[in-house]
Amino acid sequence: MSSFREQLAVRVGTLLNTGTPTGVPSAVRASIFSVDRATAPAIRYRIASDTCHPMFRQRPVPGKPLEEGPALLQLSTFPFVRMLELHVESVAYGTATISAEEATDPLTKWVEKALGSANWKDLGLACGLVGTTFEDAGEDASACKATAVYRIAYTTKAGDPEIRA
C-alpha cells in the first residue's frame, strides 16, 4: 500500500489529466521543470511539503484532583493531522497578440476547476487554493510561469503514513 501522500499525488495527476479542455496540455509530475517554446504550454505538479502535527487529547490523571492539570496521553496513540502543500506550475509563451500572462490563463483556469471541484473526502479532509503567483520565465522573459499553491489536509496514524486515522 502506498502512503496517503502518494495517493493524493496520484489523485491530483488523475484530476488534472481527465477531461482536459482543448489547448490545455497534460500535466506531468516532476521535480525538474524545463519548458521552451517547443514544449510550451506545459503544466507540472509536485509535492512541495508535507507537515504533520499530533492531535493531542488530554484526560485527568486518576487519583489526582482536576486542578492539578490533565496528563497528556502517549504521543504514539494519536493521529497526525497533515498538511500537504502542492504546487502546480503552468508555463506559456506570449505571442504578438497575447501576453505571456494571458497565455497562462486557460491553464490556470483548468487547474483551479479540476482541483477545486473534486471530491477529496475519501483521501483528504479538505483541499483549498492558497493563491497563485505569476513570474517571467524563459530566456527573454517572453514566457510566464503561474504557480498555484494548494493545501490538502488529511490525517494518518502516528508513525504509519499508510493508515488513515
pLDDT at 69: 46
What range defines the domain where residue 29 resides?
A: 4-164
Which cell is 5 given? 501522500
165, 79 Cβ separation under 8 angstroms: yes
pLDDT tens sequence across 10-25: 989 999 999 999 999 9
- Total domains present in the chain: 1
pTM value > 0.85 = no
For residue 81, what is the domain's CATH number? 3.30.2000.10
Cβ–Cβ contacts within 10 Å for residue 163, how many? 14
Say if residue 76's pLDDT is above 60.
no
If pLDDT is split at 50, 70 and 90, which confidence band does 119 have? confident
Q: 111 near 44, Cβ under 8 Å?
A: no
CB 45 within 8 A of CB 108: no
Question: Which H or E run contains 113?
Answer: helix 100-116
**Partner residues linked to 29 by β-bridges:** 45
